[in-house]
Chains A and B, each alone.
Chain A
C-alpha cells in the first residue's frame, strides 16, 4: 500500500511540475535558512557548556555604585579568589584569569611574532582542575614548573616551532624575558568564553607586588578590579550567600569602604557569553530575535505549502472520490497525503542540505562564526530533526485532513465547498505577508539606526587618525612629535593613555568641595598632552586647555557630564582632588561619545602628561600612506625588535558596532528571503486562481472586458490581503523595533514614512507577482477557455 502511495505521490509531483517546483523551492529555502539560523542559535547557547562542571562554575562580578552611576564589572580584585577558597563555605575551587599586558611580541630563534592583545593570560594552577581545556602535553598537577614556564596552544606552537616538539623550547617575551614551554594546550574551542594563545603562571603578577609602596601583596590589593575570577561551588551551595560572604570579607580587609563601593555577585559561567555582568543582553536579545525570525521563515514556507496544496485540492477531488468509492477509508487517504508531503519534504531537505553546504562559508563570514554543517554530528541532527519535524507536521496535517474529508459524491461532481478553506487560505496569506512586512520594517529601522550611529556627530573628529603603541619611542616623544609635525603629510600628533573611541577604565578616587559623602561618583580618566583636545577637535566650553606648563600637573579638565553630576557650580578654578593630587579645574569640554552609543555619556576627566604609552597621528585621506611610512621610520629607529603596527580609529569605531553590522546584514538577508518565499506562494496561488477562473475570464472578455479590467479584477483580491497584512504588521513591528531601540541611549527617530515604504514595497512586489499571471490570463483567447469547459 505504501508503495502505491509513494508511486502516486511521485507521479503527482512530476505531472504538476510548476506547483511542485514552487513548493519545493519554497520549502528548500525555508528549511535551509531556518536550519542555518537555528544552528547559529544552537552555537550561541552552547558556549562554555563543554565544561563538565559548567553548572557549578560561577564568575565573580562586582557591582559598584548605585543609582545612575551604578556599574557592574566583570572583573574582581585578586584577593577574592584566595579568600573564597580559604574562608567561604561551599567554594570548592577558585581560579583567576588575568590579561598579561606585559608582553606583545615573542621571539624564537630568528622568528619574531606579534601576539594579540588579550590573548596572553596569567592563570592559577587550578585552571585545569575546574575547566575541561585539554592539556595535550605537560602536567595538569604542576602546569608551571617555575615562574618562567609558559603553556601554549597547539596553533601557537605551530606558529613558533612548526612541527617540532615545543616542550622545553625557550621563547623570549619583548626581547628580554625567556619562557620555557612546559605544556601544549588544545586550541580553545570556538564556543569558549575564555580564549588565549599563551598561559603564564599568576606568580608573574605576584612578583610585581614586591616593593609596591601601597599594596603589600597581590592578596592585599582590594582596590584594583583586574582579574576574571571563577569559582567552582558545591552543587547545593547558595550562590547568593557566597556573594554576600565575599562582600563581607572585602569590607573586613579594606579600610574605609562603604556598601556603594562594591558588592560581589556570582554569574553562572553558562551565562557569561550571552549576558553582560549586569545581566543586560550581550547577545541574548539577538539570539531571541533570530529564533523568532527562523520560526517566521519556516512558517512562511509552511504556509506556502498548505496554501498551494489546499487550493489545488479541487484538482485532486476526483481522485479522492474515486479512491473512496472503490474502498479507501479516510485513514488511507490521510496517510497517502501525509506521505506526499513527506516526499516533498525529503526532496526539499536534500536540496536544503546541498544549499547549506554551499553557503556555509559565506554564512560563517556574515555571522562571524566557524560553524560546521557536519551530518555526523548529533547536534546538527537535533536542529534538523526539530526543524523538519515541526514544519512537516505544520504543513501536512491540514491539507491531509481537508483532502481526506471530501464527500466522494460531491467531490466527483466538483461540488466541494470552496468558501470555508478559501477564508482559511486568506488568513494564511495575510499572516505570511504580515511576517514579511514586519521583517521589512525591522530591516529598515535597524539600517537606519546603524546609519545614525555612523553619521552621528560624536563630539570629536576621528577622521584619518591612527594610533600606535610607543614602546621605545615614549621617552623620545617630544622630539619625535616635533619632527613629525614638520612634515606636510602629518596634521597633528598627540598622546593619550586611553582610547577616545571606547574608554575602558573608570575610577571613583575623587573629591571636591561639597561632595556628598554617600555619593558614588565614577569617572573615566584620560592622561593627555596639550594637543589632544585640538587634534580631536573637542570643543572647550569654558576655561582653557593645558599649556604644558609645570602647573598643569595639578590641573584638570572635566566634561560637561562630570561637572553636572558632581554638582559643581562655576567649575573653573574650583578645587578637585583626583587620586592623591589636590588640583584645580581649568577647563570644561563639551560632552563627546567615548563609548558605544548604547551607553549614555559618563563623566570624564583629563589630566596632563608629557607622554603616555600610545601616540595618535592625524593625517589626511590623500596623505595617509605617506604618513604611515614616515611614522614607520621612527618606529624602526626606536623599536627595531617589534613589528610595526598601527590602527585607524575608524576601524576601532567600526569594531564597536561589529555585532550590530552582522545583525543588520543577516536581517537584510532574512527579510529578503521571507518576502521571496511569500511571493513564490503568492505566484502559485495567482496562477491557480487564474486557472480556476479561466471560464469566468473568457465570459467577461466575450462580454467586452479589457485586459486592464481583468488584470485588476484578479490582482485586487490579493492586494487587499497584502493591505490587511500591512495594517496588522505595522503596529507590531513598530512596537518591537521601539523596544530594540531602547538598547541605545542615542537612537534614530521612527517616522511614519518607514511604514509607508515597507507597505508600498510589499504592495509593489505582490502586485508584480500577481499581475504577471493576471495579465497572462487576461490576454488568453476566450474562445479557447470557453471551449475547454
Chain B
C-alpha cells in the first residue's frame, strides 16, 4: 500500500538546518498494523505527517496505492486524503463547537455524502464505538477516553483504507488506553491498515511490526509474533 524511498525532510531556520528524515525507506502492505517508535525528535511525527499527506517531503518518493504522491498539489493531496486516510491524535482534536454526532458527521459532509446516508453511517459507527448515548454532547462534556472514541469514530466513518494514529493513548489512563488499542485492533482485523506513532512499548505490542527511528533513519524493525 505504501512505499517510501529515500525520503528526506529538512527544517530550516535562518541559522540552523535540521534533518528530520534522512533518506528513509519503508514499505507497508495493505492490512498491516505498524507501530513507529523512537525518542523525541527522531522524525516520527514528520513521517506520519508525510504519510498522511499533510506535509510534503523535500526529496525522495512516496507511492501510495501505486500512485506517486510526493509532488502532488495540496488540492490533489487533500482529495486523496479525505477518501483514503483517517487520523487519530493524542489530543483528540475534536471541534469544540460541534456535538459528538456533528464531529463524526463532518468527514461525510466534506466528501459529499447525502444527509440520510450520513445519519445512518454516523449512528452505525457511534454504536460500534459504544458512544451512541453521548451523541448530543459537546466534547468538553466527555471524559478523555470517550473523546478519543469519538475521534476514532470520526476517523473511520468514511471507511478509510488507512488510519494514522499519533500517540492515540498518550492522554489517557491505562484502562481507557487499552480500550482504544482494542478498538484499533478490531479495525485492523476488519481490514484497515493502521500506522501508529507511540512511545509506549505496551501499545506497540498490539501491532504486527515496530519500526524504530533515530535521527530520521530506520534503525531497527521488530516483527511481532
Give the interface of A toward B (CB within 8 A): 1, 4, 7-8, 11-12, 15, 318-319, 321-330, 332, 408-409, 412
- Bits for B127-168, please: 1 = Cβ < 8 Å to A, else 0: 000000000000000000000000000110010000000000
Closest 10 CB pairs between A and B? A327-B82, A327-B110, A11-B97, A409-B54, A326-B107, A322-B93, A327-B107, A328-B110, A8-B97, A409-B49
CA gap between A8 and B103 in the complex, in Å: 11
Contacts of B12 on A, CB cut-off 8 Å?
none
Using A327-B81, A329-B75 as known contacts, say yes or no to A4 and B97 having CB atoms under 8 A apart: no
Question: Nearest residue in B to A331 (C-beta to C-beta)?
Answer: B75
Does B102 sit at the interface, judged by CB under 8 A? Answer: yes
Overall SS of chain A's interface: helix
Those of B21-56 within 8 Å (CB) of chain A: 49, 52, 54-55
Tell me if B59 counts as interface (CB < 8 A to partner A): no
Interface string of B76-94 (1 = CB under 8 A from A): 0011011100110000011
B residues in contact with A328, CB < 8 Å: 106, 110
A319, B158: Cβ atoms closer than 8 Å: no
- Is the pair A1, B78 in contact by a Cβ cutoff of 8 Å? no
Apart from the given pairs A1-B109, A4-B102, A7-B97, 15 other A-B contacts in the complex at a CB distance below 8 Å: A12-B97, A15-B97, A319-B95, A319-B96, A323-B110, A325-B54, A325-B93, A326-B106, A326-B154, A326-B155, A327-B83, A327-B106, A328-B110, A329-B78, A329-B79
Q: Is B4 an interface residue (CB 8 A)?
A: no
Nearest Cβ distance between residue B163 and chain A, in whole angstroms? 12
Q: A332 and B110: CB pair below 8 A?
A: yes
Q: Which residues of B contact A409 (CB under 8 A)?
A: 49, 54-55
Q: How far is the CA of A7 from the CA of B101 in the complex (A)?
A: 13
| 5 interchain pairs, CB-CB under 8 A | A4-B98, A319-B95, A332-B110, A409-B54, A409-B55
Contact residues in A for B96 (Cβ distance below 8 Å): 15, 319
Is B222 part of the binding interface, using a Cβ–Cβ cutoff of 8 Å?
A: no
Q: Which of B94, B97, B102, B158 is packed against the most chain A CB atoms within 10 Å?
A: B97
Flag whether B111 is at the interface (Cβ < 8 A).
yes
How far apart are A183's CB and chain B's nearest CB, in angstroms? 67
Contacts of B106 in A (CB 8 A): 4, 323, 326-328
CB distance from A564 to the nearest CB of B (A): 76
Complex: chain B residue closest to A4, CB-CB: B109
Report which of A8, A325, A332 forms a contact with B87, defined as CB distance below 8 A.
A325
Choose among A8, A11, A327 the residue with the greatest number of B CB atoms under 10 Å from its CB: A327
Q: When the two chains form their complex, are residues A319 and B97 in contact, meaning their CB atoms are under 8 A apart?
A: yes
Q: Which residues of A contact B78 (CB under 8 A)?
A: 324, 327, 329
Chain B contacts for A332, CB-based, 8 A: 110
> Which residue of A is nearest B108, CB measured?
A327
What A residues does B109 contact at CB under 8 A? 1, 4
B164 and chain A: residue at smallest CB distance: A325
Q: Shortest Cβ distance from B44 into chain A, in angstroms?
A: 14
By beta carbon, the residue of chain A nearest B157 is A326
Given A322-B95, A408-B54, A409-B54, A327–B102 Cβ distance below 8 Å? no
Q: What A residues does B86 contact at CB under 8 A?
A: 326
CA distance A329 to B112 in the complex (A): 12
Among A321, A323, A409, A412: residue with most chain B CB under 10 A = A409
Evaluate whether A327 and B55 lie within 8 angstroms (CB atoms) in the complex, with A4-B106, A12-B97, A319-B97 already known.
Answer: no
- A412, B91: Cα distance in complex, Å: 10
Chain B contacts for A323, CB-based, 8 A: 95, 106, 110
Chain B residues with a Cβ under 8 A of chain A: 49, 52, 54-55, 75, 78-79, 81-83, 86-87, 93-98, 102, 105-107, 109-111, 154-155, 158
B63 to chain A, nearest CB (A): 21
The chain B residue with its CB closest to the CB of A408 is: B54
- B21 smallest CB distance to A (angstroms): 14
CB distance from A19 to the nearest CB of B (A): 14
Q: What is the CB-to-nearest-CB distance from B185 to chain A, in angstroms, rounded to a whole number?
A: 22
- In the complex, which of the residues A7, A12, A329 contacts B110, with contact meaning CB atoms closer than 8 Å? A329
Given contacts A15-B97, A329-B110, are A7 and B102 in contact (CB under 8 A)? yes
Distance in angstroms from A292 CB to nearest chain B CB is 40
State A53–B97 Cα separation when bound (angstroms).
Answer: 59
Q: How far is the CA of A327 from the CA of B96 in the complex (A)?
A: 18
CB nearest to A16 among chain B residues: B97
Q: List residues of chain B with CB within 8 A of the CB of A4.
A: 98, 102, 105-106, 109
Which residues on A sit within 8 Å (CB–CB) of B93? Answer: 318, 321-322, 325, 412
A721 to B149 alpha-carbon distance, docked (Å): 48
Report Cα–Cα, A332/B54, bound state, in Å.
17
Nearest Cβ distance between residue A2 and chain B, in whole angstroms? 10
**Complex contacts, A325 vs chain B, CB 8 Å:** 52, 54, 81, 87, 93
User: Which residue from chain A places its CB closest to the CB of B93 in the assembled complex?
Assistant: A322
Closest residue on chain B to residue A409 by CB atoms: B54
**Nearest chain A CB to B150 CB, angstrom units:** 12
- Considering the complex, give the chain B residue whose CB is closest to the CB of A321: B93
Residues of A within 8 A of B49 (CB): 409
How near does chain B come to A8, taking the closest CB pair, in angstroms? 5
* Least CB distance, A154 to chain B, in whole angstroms: 59
Q: How far is the CA of A319 from the CA of B95 in the complex (A)?
A: 6
A47 to B97, CA, bound (A): 52
Considering the complex, give the chain B residue whose CB is closest to the CB of A320: B95
In this complex, which of A1, A12, A325, A326 has the most chain B Cβ atoms within 10 angstroms of its Cβ? A326
Question: In the assembled complex, which residues on chain A have CB atoms less than 8 Å from the CB atom of B87?
Answer: 325-326
B residues near A324, Cβ cutoff 8 Å: 78
Cα–Cα distance between A703 and B98 once the two chains are bound (Å): 41
Cα–Cα distance between A330 and B155 once the two chains are bound (Å)? 20
Q: B95 CB to closest chain A CB, in angstroms? A: 5
Q: In the complex, what residues of B have CB within 8 A of residue A8's CB?
A: 95, 97-98
Residues of A within 8 A of B97 (CB): 7-8, 11-12, 15, 319
CB of B82 within 8 A of CB of A326, answer yes
Q: Which residues of A contact B79 (CB under 8 A)?
A: 329
- Measured CB to CB, the closest approach of chain B to A325, in angstroms, equals 5
Residues of B within 8 A of A322 (CB): 93-95
Residues of B within 8 A of A318 (CB): 93
B126 to chain A, nearest CB (A): 16
Taking the closest CB of chain B, its distance from the CB of A779, in whole angstroms, is 28
CB distance from B151 to the nearest CB of A (A): 10
With a 10 A CB-CB cut-off, give which of A322, A329, A330 has the most chain B CB atoms: A322
A11, A327, A330, A412: the one within 8 Å of B158 (CB): A327
- CA of A489 to CA of B111, assembled, Å: 92
Q: Determine if B110 and A326 form an interchain contact, defined as CB atoms under 8 angstroms apart.
A: yes
> Nearest Cβ in chain B — how far from A416, in angstroms?
14
Question: CB-CB < 8 A to A330: which residues of B?
Answer: 75
Cα separation A8 to B78 with both chains bound (whole Å): 22
Question: What's the Cα separation between A7 and B52 when bound, in Å?
Answer: 29
A322 to B81, CA, bound (A): 13
A330 to B109, CA, bound (A): 14
Assess the B54–A327 pair: CB atoms within 8 A: no
Q: Please give me the residue from chain A that is nearest to B86 by CB atom.
A: A326
Q: How far is the CB of A684 from chain B (nearest CB, A)?
A: 20
What CA separation (Å) do A318 and B98 show in the bound complex?
13
A699 to chain B, nearest CB (A): 23
